[in-house]
A and B are shown apart, each in its own frame.
Chain A
Amino acid sequence: MKSDKLRLRDMGPTPTITIHVPGSLRPYCAGAAQLSISAHTVRAALEDLERSQPALYRNLCDETGTVRRHLNVFVNSDNVRDLDGVDTKLTPGDVVTILPAVSGG
């Protein structure tokens, strides 16, 4: 079985992607509208946010690490629910957008 280090090497260099932050969440990341992160997958991007932007992360994921139920995460124009969820792979230049679901009353 390959080690994590070997698996990551097989995936090539870590792609740099952009996370687009909705206006309502910008106060949790010093007002930034976009964040630049290097990550192979959406999960890795979220783990990076947990370390680098913990206040923003708490708005995106609950204590178990699950993306909050009423949030949608898109990679470019595709909802990750239609791809591989948080295991969706990222390629250089991808834009990850986090949006509240259209719901409520």
Chain B
Amino acid sequence: MADRVILTIGTKKGVFVADAAKPRRSFALRGPMGPGVPVYSTLIDARGTPRLYASSCNPFFGMKVLRSTDMGKTFKETKSAPAFPKEDGRALANIWSLETGSGKKDLWCGVEPASLFRSQDGGDTWDMVPGISNHEHARKWQPGNGGLCMHTIIRDGNRVHLGISTGGHYLSEDGGETFKASNQGVGAGFAPDPYPEFGQCVHKIARHDDAPGRMYMQNHGGWADWTGPGGPRPDIGVLRSDDYGHSWRSIAKGLPSDFGFPIVVHPHDADTVYVVPLEPATRSCPGGAPAVWRSENGGESWSRLARGLPKKQSYFTVLRDAMDIDRLKSPALYFGTTTGQLWIGREGGEQWDCLFDSLPPIHNVKVAVV
């Protein structure tokens, strides 16, 4: 019976693991683990005996995948990390996403430069997925500020959704064999054409298991005042799809900013979605007062959740993978900041408390009940 809440926290200086009994009153922290290098992606694989995974972006010796089979007490390198074929000409620069696949030991991995890899043995060997990695658009994608990263992998039966910055949203409906750009309604602020076929700077995509056709996207917003070719592009930052990602429409109205990175869906209600609006220029909290914003009607309206969060002089950033929500009856949100704070938002974000306030800058937060 699942009775522990476990958090993996990927930071600039390695991976931390925190866990608590289900009431989540206090969390025990261990780490940093790994060689003290940036960790951009983690995964809690709760299928069977839980396994924790973390990428390890070693600037000296290259990328590694770390695996723990003892609930995060120790991590060891898997036998290999994703790598491009020698004749490909690309070299792995980072690992941005790790997700479970359909088989018991099946893993998917999104990397920089944007490509997809798959392992069928729990991360010991990897094969490049050519349908997207060698897509006709792949050599035309451009790096965003964080690099040319494949940061989102969402599986839904034979559908596979990918988020690429800057490439956009790509959809496979044949289990990952082939992919098509699927960006109708997804705007781009940094190109003359406001609605290109591909090349959008998608920041994160989320969905609810019980409503797979409903999807939410945090896109690169902040273009309301653009006066160049193509004109202003207000509200392109927060979007919704009701047709499995084939088309998207804005749900940003009512937010203080349509720029942000993470987007998270409530585990028990597909209409409830959370974002962290940021000032587009500085990528920091508007007015120095951080808040998570929640919609309980699929993005028709938004409310501010800030009880317990600083009211002023806080200018951190919450990165694209640094917010998650657990699946308990009254779920808690968790977000990590670039200033090394880890916050918990109890009762679906109604009450915020700082769990840890001096970690290294946080890239990634994942939670599971195991």
- Min distance, Cβ B130 to any Cβ of chain A, angstroms: 15
A100 and B60 contact, CB distance less than 8 A: yes
B91 touching A101, Cβ below 8 Å? no
Q: Is B88 an interface residue (CB 8 A)?
A: yes
Report whether over half of chain A's contact residues are helix, strand or loop; otherwise say mixed. Answer: loop
Q: Are A62 and B62 in contact (CB under 8 A)?
A: yes
The interface residues of chain A lying within 8 Å CB-to-CB of B289 are none
Return the contact of B59 from the options A24, A64, A65, A104 (Cβ within 8 A). Answer: A104
Query: How many angstroms between the C-alpha atoms of A25 and B60 in the bound complex?
Result: 11
Chain A positions near chain B (C-beta within 8 angstroms):
24-25, 58-60, 62-66, 68-71, 100-101, 103-104
> Is B84 an interface residue, CB under 8 A from the partner?
yes
| Interface contact B60-A63, CB-CB below 8 Å | no
> Is there an interface contact between A71 and B91, defined as CB atoms closer than 8 Å?
no
Nearest 10 interchain pairs by C-beta: A62-B91, A59-B61, A100-B60, A63-B84, A70-B60, A70-B59, A63-B91, A63-B83, A64-B91, A63-B86
Q: Name 9 extra pairs, CB < 8 A, besides A58-B83, A100-B61.
A: A24-B35, A60-B61, A63-B85, A63-B88, A63-B90, A64-B86, A68-B60, A70-B60, A71-B61
Q: How far is the CA of A65 from the CA of B89 in the complex (A)?
A: 9
Contact status A24-B61, CB under 8 Å: yes
Residue with the greatest number of chain B CB neighbours at <10 A, chosen from A25, A64, A66, A71: A64
Min C-beta distance of B270 to chain A, whole Å:
41
Chosen A-B contacts, 12 in total, with CB atoms closer than 8 Å, are A58-B62, A59-B62, A62-B62, A62-B92, A63-B83, A63-B84, A66-B91, A68-B62, A70-B59, A71-B61, A100-B60, A101-B60
- Residue with the greatest number of chain A CB neighbours at <10 A, chosen from B60, B61, B80, B92: B60
**B257–chain A nearest beta-carbon distance, Å:** 29
Q: Which residue of B lies closest to A101 (CB)?
A: B60
Contacts of B92 in A (CB 8 A): 62-63
Interfacial residues of chain B within 55-103, with CB under 8 A of chain A in the complex: 59-62, 80, 83-86, 88-92
Question: For residue A99, which residue of chain B has the nearest CB?
Answer: B60
Query: CA A72 – CA B337 in complex, angstroms?
Result: 34
Q: How far is the CA of A64 from the CA of B89 in the complex (A)?
A: 6
Q: A24-B35, A63-B91 are in contact. Are A68 and B86 (CB under 8 A)?
A: no
Q: Roughly how many angstroms separate A63 CA and B62 CA in the complex, as a whole number?
A: 10
